[in-house]
Amino acid sequence: MQYKFRNFYKCSKCGHEWSMEWHATCDDRCPKCNTSISPTRSEDIIPKIYPKWIVPTYCSDEYCDDYPPYALIEITPDLYRWIQRALKARKSLDAARIQRYDYTPDWKASEIDSPTEDELVETECRIDYNLISVSDDDIKWTAVIKHTSVEFSTERIPLKEVKEAFKVYKCSKKNLPLLINDLKYNVSKELLERRLHA
């Protein structure tokens, strides 16, 4: 069962306070004195549904085939805020790109071209480090296979796509249907569907 509400209670008889997650805003019994109590307040539990990309990778060594062919990338609000700060820093420093260590990607494999998330499998490839790189128009990740100098990177994700996906992420659930005809990118459309059915 997926809980939709966090209900808060304060017993009018003994003063005991507690909270409970449930699929409705409903009465509960005080765990101390068994009095039936209505919630003093309730909060919606918002499922953490972040934008996700399945991004092909490419390798700097044309003879290497041991690198993961895909990255599953889920951009959280914290990472999105950092990307926005990196863009401002890039402009003020007049730099081509801003980089930092970032272990967001789940490096994956698949026997299918253009796989869905369910068709991705874990890879045995061990990674030494990951760097995120933010330029004016896009972001990408670069990694090195452990104990080698073999470097591989994700394809670039356009920042326009990320911005649109976070417009969907931040939108209240009741207003999501208003976005349907405005969305250009599949990631945003998939995120909207996942949020509507959460």
Q: Render each residue's pLDDT in the chain as its tens digit; 198 residues.
A: 455 788 999 999 999 999 988 878 889 999 999 999 999 998 877 667 899 999 999 987 777 778 899 999 999 999 999 999 999 999 999 999 999 999 999 999 999 999 999 999 998 888 888 999 999 999 999 999 888 888 999 999 999 999 999 999 999 888 999 999 999 999 999 999 998 887
Report which residue type is found at 38.
S
Q: Examine residue 116 and state whether it is found in any structural domain, yes or no.
A: yes
Identify any residues that bridge with 54 across adjacent strands, giving them in sequence order. 72
Asked if the structure places residue 191 within a domain, the reply is no
Domain of 35?
5-44
Examine the domain organization and report whether 15 and 57 are in the same domain.
no
Angle made by CA atoms 177, 178, 180, in degrees to the nearest 5? 65
Q: Are residues 16 and 77 in the same domain?
A: no
- Residue whose tokens read 């459309």: 189
Q: Do 58 and 109 share a domain, yes or no?
A: yes
Burial environment of residue 84 by CB neighbours within 10 A (0 to 12, 13 to 18, 19 or more): middle
Could you tell me if 57 and 99 lie in one domain?
A: yes
Residues 122 and 144 in one domain: yes
Task: Report how many domains make up the chain.
Answer: 2
Task: Name the maximum alpha-carbon separation found in the chain.
Answer: 74
Q: Flag whether 86 is in a domain.
A: yes
Q: What is the model's pLDDT at position 46?
A: 67
Whether residues 69 and 101 fall in one domain: yes
Side-chain half-sphere CA neighbours of 13 within 13 A: 10
Same structural domain, 58 and 154: yes
The conformation of residue 63, written as its DSSP 8-state character, comes to T
- The candidate with the shortest Cα–Cα distance to 108, out of 80, 73, 61, 79, is 73
23 and 77 share a domain? no
Identify whether residues 56 and 103 lie together within a single domain: yes
Same domain, 22 and 65: no
Tokens 């998939």, residue? 190
Q: Is residue 33 part of a domain?
A: yes
On the CB side of 158, how many CA atoms lie within 13 Å of its CA?
A: 8
What pLDDT sits at residue 87?
Answer: 95
Q: Quick one: 28 and 123 in the same domain?
A: no
The residue to which tokens 């990338």 are assigned: 73
pLDDT at 1: 42
